[in-house]
A and B are shown apart, each in its own frame.
Chain A
Amino acid sequence: MLKSDRKSARPDIWLYLHFPLLPLETLLPQVPTEQVQKPIAIINQQKNIQRVLCCNTQAAAWGIESNLSISTALALCPELEVLPRQVEQEQQLLQQLALVAYSFSPVVILNNSEVWLEISGCQQLFKGYDALLQELENRLRYQSITAVNGIGQNPVVAKLLCGSEFETQLPDQTEIQRRLFNTELNLLETNRKQQQSFKQLGLNTVGDLLALPRSALSRRFDSELMLTIAQLNNEKPFVAPRFQPANTFRDLIQNPQGIFNKESLLFPMKMLLQRLCQYLMARQCYCREIEWHFEPLIGQSQQMQIQLSGSQNNWSTLLMLSRLQLERLELPRSIEQIILHADQFIEAPMGVFNLDLFDNQQTTQQSCELIDSLNARLGIDALSQPILNQDYLPEQASTLAIPGKHSSTAFNQKLDEKSDEKQKAPQPLWLLTDPALVQMRNQQLYWRQPLTIISGPERLCGNWWQAEQQRDYYLACDSKGARYWLFRETSSQRWFVHGLFS
C-alpha cells in the first residue's frame, strides 16, 4: 500500500493521466484500413440501452457525442460504424500504458481506468520536469493514445485538475492552488443531493467550499465528502495499491481479416517484441526464451520457440531471430491471432554496466548472437560442441553436445594436471564416429590404402561392467604420410580405424 504523504523534503508532484478515447483506441488497430477514415463510435450497454461511449473526429463532425443512444446516433449519421466496447482488451492496453508510466517513475497507481504517477524524484533523470512531461507525451503519442493530464500535490488534486489536453509545463505550487480554488464544484465526485446543497449554500468553486470552517461542513455533509476535503488539503493520505509489472509477459495482436503470408506477420511481431522490450526495461531484466503462437481461425495453432544462448532485451535482435526461424516453419493458411509469451527472465547481469575498455564482453555478446542466429536458421540439431567426459574409451570420452548446455572448464584443468604427470601417447584430432573395419591384404593392413604401423600399442580397457572392451591402439601411416589411429580388439583380433591425426 502506498501512502501519498511520505516524509520527504521534496513536496510530492502527482500526475494524473486520463485516456478519453481509450475504448476507441483499443479497437482501432483491428479496424480495416479502408474503414478507419469513416465515422466510428464505440457503444456501451447500459440498462438495456446502448449508448455511445466515445467516437472518432469524423463521427463527431456528424454531431455524435457520448451518451447518445444508438438510435439517435444512427439517425444523425446513417453510415456510422458501431463497435461494441471490449473491456478485457482495454484492460490489457491499460497495463501497457501503466508500463509506459512505470518507465518514468517507480511510483505508479493503476486504479480501474485511471493512472497516476508521482514524479517528484525523477527531475534529475529527465533533466527537468518539462522534459519529462514532453517525453511522456511523445511516448504516449507513439502508441497512438490520446491522453490528457492533471498535476497536483496529491492524487486527488491531480485528478480534479485534469484538463482537456496534455499539459507539458509544470505549474508551480501557487498556480496549482489557484486552479484548485477556481475549480467548479460539480466536477467533484459527489451525489446529486450534495451537489444540490452546494447550490443552496451558494458554493460554486472548491475554494468556496474550503473557505468554510470544517466543523460547519461536517455537520452538513457526510463523512465521504469530509474525507475528500481532508485529502484535498493533504491532511489524510490517498491509499491505493502500487502498480507492479506482472511476473510473466503475454501479449497478443488480433487480426480478424487474417494474415496470409509470412512477410505481413513481421509487422505485428515487431510491435509485440517492442512491447516485450518495454516490459523488460521496466522490470530491468533480460529474457532467455520467447514463445510465439500463431492461431488460425479454424484448426491447429502453430508454435515457435526461440531460445537464446545469452540474454537479450533488444527487440531488433529478437525480431531477426524470429524471422530466421519463421522461414523454417510451416504456418496455417490464415492467421488470426499472434501471441507472444515469455516467462524466463534473468536479472540484468552486472557486466552490462561494466565500463572496462578492455573487457571482452563484446566478443561474448557476438558469439551468443552468432549461436542464436545459426540456431534459428539451421535448427538446434545442426549445432554441437565437443565435450570431454571422464571415460577411457575414446568414443565415450569425446562426445558432441548442444552448445551452451555443458560446462567442462573445471574438468579440463583436472585433465591438464594429469597429462603433465605422464607423457601420453599421441592422440588424433579426428575421431570416426563408428570405427571402420580394416582389411588384411597380403599380410598387410589395408584401409583405402596399405597401412604400416609406426608406434604403439597403448592399451585401453573400459566398459567392463557391460560389454567388455580391451583395445590396443597403434599409430599407423600410409605411403602418402597420412597418419591413422588404429586399434585391435583383443577379444576378436580384428583391426579398426578409429581416428585420423590430421
Chain B
Amino acid sequence: MPNNIATVLSRQDTWRGRSQRLPRRAITTGHNNLDLLLQGGWPISALTELIPQQPGIGELSLLLPTLKYYADNNQLCVWLDPPYQPYAPRLVSADIALDKLLVVRSKNHAEWLWAAEQSIRSGALLLAWTKQPPPRYADLRKLQLAAADSGNAAFLFSVPSALSAPSPAALRLELKGIEFNQLLLTVRKQRGVASGACLQLSLGEANTQRTNLALLPADRHRTYPIQQLNN
C-alpha cells in the first residue's frame, strides 16, 4: 500500500476534486484515426485487451509501431506464448531491433501469470496470448494493477469467447476482418467513453499483382516439364 501522498497523487487513476484531470497518458498507435478513437492512442499504465475474431486478420500489425517505439527506447518487448513463431525478416523490415524481442514459453498457468506480471513490472512491453483455460478475472486484475503501477502499456490477445466474460482491462477492442486488408475495430470497453464505437481501418495498400509463372527465374539445377509449371 503506498503511504506517500505524492505517490498516490502521481498515479493516473487518482481523481482530484478541484484540479483538472491529469492529461491522459497514451502512446500513439501510428494510425491517426485510431488515435482519435482511443483519445490519444494506446493507454499506458493500463492493460489493453485485443480480441481478434480469428488469428491472421492483422491484429499484430496494429502493434508494430508500438513495438518499434519501445525497441527504439531500448526497452524489452516480451512475447508471452505467441501462437506461432515470429518471422524475423518482417520485423527487421519494420526497423525493429531483434535483440529487444524476447519470446517466452510458459508451461502452465502459474508460470504464464508470473512471467506476465514480472515483465510488466520490469518496464518491458508485454504482448501476451491467453492459453486454454482462459485466465480468471482475478488474474487479469493482477496484470492490470501491475500495469497501473509500472507505467507501461501491456497487451493481451484473447480468444473471441472471452468477449462474454467481464474483464478488468482498461481498454477492450474487438477486431474483425471484413474483407481483404480491411479491419473493423469495435471498442467494447473504454474508460470514460461509452462502448460501441467502430472504426474501419485499412492495412496498407492491397497488392493484387499476379506474376506470370513463365517469367520467373527457373531452377537451374533441375528441369521441370513446361505444362506442369503452367497448370
Q: Do A and B share a complex?
A: yes
Q: Which residues of A contact B (CB under 8 A)?
A: 360, 363-364, 366-367, 369-371, 373-374, 377-378, 381-388, 394, 397-400, 403-404, 406-409, 412, 415-416, 419, 424-433, 454-459, 461, 464, 468, 470, 472, 475, 477, 480-484, 490-491, 493, 499-502
Say yes or no: A431 contacts B84, CB within 8 Å: yes
Contact status of A429 and B219, CB under 8 A, knowing A369-B122, A371-B102, A377-B114? no
Contact status of A454 and B56, CB under 8 A, knowing A383-B102, A394-B87, A429-B86? no
Quick one: which of B124-139 are within 8 Å of A by CB? 124
Say yes or no: B89 contacts A415, CB within 8 Å: yes
The contact of B180 among A381, A382, A454, A458, by CB within 8 Å, is: A454
Q: Chain A contacts of B1 at CB under 8 A?
A: none
Chain B residue with the shortest CB-CB distance to A470: B219
- 4 smallest CB-CB distances across A and B, nearest first, come from A481-B177, A482-B56, A398-B88, A430-B84
The segment from B18-26, B38-46, B103-111, B185-193 found at the interface with A is B103-111
Alpha-carbon distance between A455 and B212 when the two chains are bound, in angstroms: 11
Alpha-carbon distance between A459 and B217 when the two chains are bound, in angstroms: 7
Contact with A along B10-24 (1 / 0, CB 8 A): 000000000000000
Contact status of A502 and B89, CB under 8 A, knowing A377-B111, A481-B183? no
Say yes or no: A428 contacts B181, CB within 8 Å: no
Say yes or no: B87 contacts A431, CB within 8 Å: yes
Say yes or no: B73 contacts A363, CB within 8 Å: yes
The contact of B102 among A385, A431, A499, by CB within 8 Å, is: A385
Alpha-carbon distance between A454 and B56 when the two chains are bound, in angstroms: 15
Q: Which residues of B contact A (CB under 8 A)?
A: 53-61, 73-76, 78, 82-93, 95, 97-107, 111, 114-115, 118-119, 122-124, 176-183, 206-211, 213, 216-217, 219, 221-222, 224, 228-229
Contact status of A477 and B180, CB under 8 A, knowing A366-B123, A459-B216? yes
Say yes or no: A481 contacts B103, CB within 8 Å: no
Say yes or no: A386 contacts B111, CB within 8 Å: no
Q: Chain B contacts of A458 at CB under 8 A?
A: 211
The contact of A386 among B54, B98, B217, by CB within 8 Å, is: B98
A81 to chain B minimum Cβ distance, whole angstroms, is 47
Say yes or no: A502 contacts B181, CB within 8 Å: no
A204 to chain B minimum Cβ distance, whole angstroms, is 67
B60 to chain A minimum Cβ distance, whole angstroms, is 4
Say yes or no: A433 contacts B85, CB within 8 Å: yes
B225 to chain A minimum Cβ distance, whole angstroms, is 11
Contact status of A398 and B219, CB under 8 A, knowing A378-B107, A386-B101? no
Chain B residue with the shortest CB-CB distance to A379: B107
Say yes or no: B102 contacts A455, CB within 8 Å: no
The contact of A374 among B93, B104, B217, by CB within 8 Å, is: B104
Alpha-carbon distance between A388 and B82 when the two chains are bound, in angstroms: 18
Contact status of A387 and B88, CB under 8 A, knowing A367-B76, A400-B103, A408-B98? yes
Q: Chain B contacts of A400 at CB under 8 A?
A: 85, 103
Q: A364-B74, A427-B89, A470-B219 given; name 14 further pairs at CB < 8 Å.
A: A370-B76, A378-B104, A382-B107, A415-B93, A430-B84, A454-B180, A457-B216, A464-B221, A480-B53, A481-B57, A482-B54, A500-B55, A502-B59, A502-B60
Alpha-carbon distance between A500 and B59 when the two chains are bound, in angstroms: 11
Say yes or no: A481 contacts B181, CB within 8 Å: yes
Alpha-carbon distance between A386 and B85 when the two chains are bound, in angstroms: 8
Say yes or no: A424 contacts B93, CB within 8 Å: yes
The contact of A433 among B73, B84, B179, B213, by CB within 8 Å, is: B84
Say yes or no: B207 contacts A412, CB within 8 Å: no
The contact of A388 among B55, B73, B92, by CB within 8 Å, is: B92
B29 to chain A minimum Cβ distance, whole angstroms, is 16
Q: Chain A contacts of B207 at CB under 8 A?
A: 425-426, 454-455, 475
Say yes or no: A427 contacts B98, CB within 8 Å: no
The contact of B119 among A370, A386, A426, A475, by CB within 8 Å, is: A370
A384 to chain B minimum Cβ distance, whole angstroms, is 5
A-B contact pairs, 20 of them (CB 8 A): A363-B123, A370-B76, A370-B122, A374-B104, A385-B102, A394-B87, A397-B88, A398-B86, A398-B87, A399-B88, A429-B87, A429-B90, A430-B85, A432-B84, A455-B207, A468-B222, A482-B57, A490-B219, A493-B228, A502-B55
